[in-house]
Amino acid sequence: MSATSSSAAETGGGGGQAGRSWKWAALFGGVGLLILILDQLTKALALAHLTPGEPVNVIGSLLKFNLIRNSGAAFSLGSGYTPYISAVQITVAVGVVYLSRRLGSAGWAVAFGLLFGGAVGNIIDRIFREPSPFHGHVVDFLQTPHWAIFNVADMAVTSAAILLVIQTLRGVKLDGTREHRK
The residue annotated as part of the active site, out of 39, 125, 154, 175, is 154
Phi, psi of 14 (to 5 degrees): -175, 170
Which H or E run contains 65? Answer: strand 63-70
CA dihedral of residues 133, 135, 136, 137 (deg, nearest 10) = 180
- 154 catalytic residue (yes or no): yes
Q: Is 175 exposed, middle or buried (0-12, 13-18, 19+ CB in 10 A)?
A: middle
Please list the residues that pair with 140 across neighbouring strands. Answer: 68
Q: Any catalytic annotation for residue 140?
A: yes
CA 156 vs. chain centroid, Å, equals: 4
Side chain identity, residue 34: L
What are phi and psi for residue 90, nearest 5 degrees? -65, -40
From 39, 125, 140, 175, the catalytic residue: 140
Q: Are 93 and 70 in contact (CB under 8 A)?
A: no
Among all residues, which ones are annotated catalytic? 140, 154
